[in-house]
Structure 1
Amino acid sequence: MSSITEHLSTLVSQSSSILSDLNSDLLSVEELASKMDLRDNTIRMLDAHKEDLNNSSFSDEDREEIKSLFDKFERLNSKIDRALKDALNKSRENLAAATTTRKADDKYRVLAKPDITHF
């Protein structure tokens, strides 16, 4: 197995782990950031071998394996992107709801006649 296929296999594994973390209920931002950094390092290592990809010494079997691994990485990366966007939207909704509740709570406590227009 060439170093390219090893790096791609590692990249697929790391991406799968990141996606699993994003889909879990116990999302740790620090752990996710750490895994994303590891994945970035693997991408940099793979980038160092990009000249080897133009090399015609790969067998057809190796080329198919590289293509398969890259396609799998690409699918996982799209899923990660969607999961991150969903998490961001959910966080925005939670923040907006908390802000509205806080404003209403503040007005309720301050005014003699409570203002409940935020609800």
Structure 2
Amino acid sequence: MTIVDLLHSNGRTRAYRDFLLGRSGVVIDILTYGANTLVKLDGSHQDLPAGVRRWSVHRDDLAVEAVAITEELSAPSYRAGVTGTGSEAVLHAVVLSESTSLCTEPIGPLPISGWSLPFIPASPRACTRCAAP
């Protein structure tokens, strides 16, 4: 990616506009609901503005040439569902689109703001039938 403008970035970043424009680097994280990115600039720290390698830059101020995936992340196969309450609660493995766990308990995943908790077989409250390989 290359920094092509700083119209949308925060004021602290815009203060270094002359030093940052045209610099290239890699987006290493997405910040603030996807509007800002954390950019790691290429080059040695002596050549970078104020010796800082990482900058918060708005996504509209960047030109992204290609997306490189450095590691393949495997999403959990199952999401957690719960039966019981309090100290009697048991976590079950649930396929996201189904309402029955692997052990046939009638439950659903626990969606939280659009995502679900992953089922962790090693959890002390995990259902033994769902955790079995």
Q: TM-score range by the shorter chain?
A: under 0.3
Of Structure 1 and Structure 2, the greater strand share is in 2
Report the TM-score when normalising by structure 1. 0.24
Task: Give the structure-2-normalised TM-score.
Answer: 0.22
